[in-house]
Amino acid sequence: MADYKAPLRDMRFVLNEVFEVSRLWAELPALAEVVDEETANAILEEAGKVTAGSIAPLNRSGDEEGCSWDNGVVKTPAGFPEAYRTYAEGGWVGVGGSPEFGGMGMPKVIGAQVEEMVNSASLSFGLYPMLTSGACLSILNHASEELKAQYLPNMYEGRWAGSMCLTEPHAGTDLGIIRTKAEPQADGSYRVSGTKIFITGGEHDLTENIIHLVLAKLPDAPAGPKGISLFLVPKIMVNADGSLGEKNALGCGSIEHKMGIKASATCVMNFDGATGYLIGEVNKGLAAMFTMMNYERLGVGIQGLSLGERSYQSAIEYARERIQSRAPTGPVAKDKAADPIIVHPDVRRMLLTMKALNEGGRAFSSYVAMQLDTAKYSEDRETAKRADELVALLTPVAKAFLTDMALETTVHGQQIFGGHGFIREWGQEQLVRDCRITQIYEGTNGIQSLDLMGRKIVGSGGSYYKHFADEIKAFVASADASLAEFTKPLAAAVQNLDELTAWVLDRAKSNPNEIGAASVEYLQAFGYTAYAYMWALMARAALGKEAQDEFYASKLGTARFYFARLLPRIHSLSASVKAGSESLYLLDAAQF
């Protein structure tokens, strides 16, 4: 497998030339004080060095060794504790954390690039700081000042880690039926009892403490999701002076043996009357947890992108070096027995598909991250509201479409290697295995599609969608004639999505099955259209520079490939949506 190199040139292109993020930061006083283009570039350069030098070399060995469990004690693979220490000492765990408690305070759009780099280096490794950052976000936004001061500094510093304890053996998507209980105590704390499964980083040897965020119900809580509260439950109790005390009444019952991300500890966690502290209000736990969901679900989308990028870097190196057969038009490498496989049309199709989806995904994830920053930091109420509604609309697309495209991308990368792609030592099969979980956790992609169609499209009466569609139409209307080869098909794609949206909204009035029946294909059509917008923006930034710089020539060539070969997929997807729900209900359950 090729050594990982952070795609810094493309990241800078997206941030500085496509979106001109420094202008956004200048308009947001809270960000203008902490970041500018020079600072951002320095952060990305250093992150690229750390991830490529300290983390990427552990990816295959971590997969081979995996985590181990012995009587409740979990060990990560060799090299992980040392690499985590290096990562934490650089301040990377707290890159987006509040400066008030020791974080860097960087905007999400910078954090998104750092996330991509660490997850490309090793997704298993990247999950540990990701879960900590997510836990910090909920604590920062909902916990008491006392809890913030007591826990956030050490978590941002990377001395303590975090986990999210949601899922139970009988309750995954339907959290309203969880059974974990929290009993109030005289001192204001709670005794938390129950079992949680699939807990990423629930136990490990990377940090001296782990801070669990646990969903549970009080004895008198109302039924369903309205009766869920959120609790902070430390692995080791924290004394008033900040020192560590006795171990809390909790433990890791086992770890899962998984298809991929084997160096990430996926734990069964047992809480046996563990001491916990309420975060936010009683029975408002889901609201507190969902504060971080937009960030975490975008983060999972970025995980997919990260694996696609790592696969592409190896595939392009292999395709340039591996010689097999001659080009259809005659010998290219006349001094060799055969030509490099990059001359063959099908290999080029796969490589260009990978490149177009990766670079489109990087632009789209950065765009969504910018909306998160605007929603969080804008002092203009209407601007913040519009950005917040765009985040709500685009988050399920970012999570599901990026990860669906990532599986396609990593499979292409494996295919380019031929038989070697099926062999462990080449690394491509690991990326396929690791990628598969991104379509499942943090809400399966089917659930993301239902969220987009049911809550964000039908639930808003199409108003959230209108923000995005109107923005694209305004771009098309203002574009120079030189961009017509991109804006014309983009305009047609948006019109198609308009019609598709109106069709589902109308059909859903009389048949609620239409929402679920349309949801997956609708999200896919939405995703391809969104990427078309990203590619048109990138083409605008590259146009006129291609003669002087190969980077821009490559960007324009990839944009043309996207519009010619990938965007047309929306037509078959649209036909599937408009086929309706009837054919899904032709069979009785016994007939399957």
Question: If one looks up domain 292-442 in CATH, what number appears?
Answer: 1.20.140.10
Kindly give, in sequence order, each residue whose CB lies less than 8 Å from that of residue 474, ignoring residues fewer than 6 positions away.
Answer: none
pLDDT of residue 414: 98
Neighbours of 174 (CB within 10 A): 10
pLDDT tens-place string over residues 408-427:
999 999 999 999 999 999 99
Kind plus residue range of the DSSP H or E element containing 254:
strand 250-255
- 436 and 404 Cβ atoms separated by less than 8 Å: no
Instruction: Note the pLDDT of residue 290.
Output: 82
Query: Rounded to whole angstroms, how far apart are CA atoms 498 and 364?
Result: 20
Per-residue model confidence (pLDDT) at position 1: 80
Give the sign of the dihedral formed by CA 166, CA 171, CA 173, CA 178: negative
DSSP result, 387-430:
HHHHHHHHHHHHHHHHHHHHHHHHHHHHHHTGGGGGSGGGSHHH
Asked if the model's pLDDT at residue 199 lies above 80, the reply is yes
Residue 275: φ, ψ to 5°: -75, 130
Residue with tokens 């078959």: 572
Selection from 394, 375, 371 nearest residue 384 by Cα: 375
Q: Where are the alpha helices (DSSP H) in 322-380?
A: 345-377
SS3 category, 87: helix
Please state, for a pLDDT cut of 90, what percent of the chain lies above it.
96
Catalytic residue, candidates 389, 442, 514, 521:
442
Phi, psi of 256, rounded to the nearest 5 degrees: -85, 150
Average pLDDT for 500-505: 97
Side-chain-facing half-sphere of 330: CA atoms under 13 Å: 1
34-290 with 292-442: one CATH topology? no
Give the global pTM. 0.98
Mean pLDDT of the 161-188 span: 92
State the CATH architecture for 34-290: Beta Barrel (2.40)
Q: What pLDDT, in 10s, does the model give residues 21-74? A: 999 999 999 999 999 999 999 999 999 999 999 999 999 999 999 999 999 999
Among candidate residues 318, 288, 302, the one with its CA nearest the CA of residue 1: 318
Stretch 552-563: mean pLDDT? 98
Mean pLDDT of 538-552: 97
Q: How far apart are CA 249 and CA 242, in angstroms?
A: 19
pLDDT band at 456 (very low <50, low <70, confident <90, very high): very high
* Ranges of each domain in the chain: 34-290, 292-442, 444-586
pLDDT digits (tens, 9 = 90+) for 245-291: 999 999 999 999 999 999 999 999 999 999 999 999 999 999 888 88
Is the alpha carbon torsion for 439, 444, 445, 451 positive or negative?
A: negative
State the Cα–Cα distance between residues 110 and 114, nearest whole angstrom: 7
Q: What is the pLDDT of residue 121?
A: 98
Average pLDDT over all residues of the chain: 97
pLDDT over 80 at 172, yes or no: no
The helix (H) or strand (E) run that includes residue 246 is: strand 244-247
CA torsion 179-185-187-189 (nearest 10°) is 0
How sure is the predictor about 582, in pLDDT bands with cuts at 50, 70 and 90?
Answer: very high
pLDDT tens-digit series, residues 117-136: 999 999 999 999 999 999 99
In the prediction, which pLDDT does 180 show?
Answer: 97
Minimal CA–CA distance to 115: which of 307, 312, 316?
307
Residue 466: its pLDDT value, please?
Answer: 98
Q: Give CA–CA dist 80/85, Å, rounded.
A: 8
442 is catalytic: yes
Rounded CA Rg of the chain: 24
Q: Is the pLDDT of residue 465 over 90?
A: yes
DSSP strands (E only) in 461-576: none
| Residue 351 pLDDT | 98
Per-residue pLDDT of 207-234, as tens digits, reads 999 999 999 999 999 999 899 999 999 9
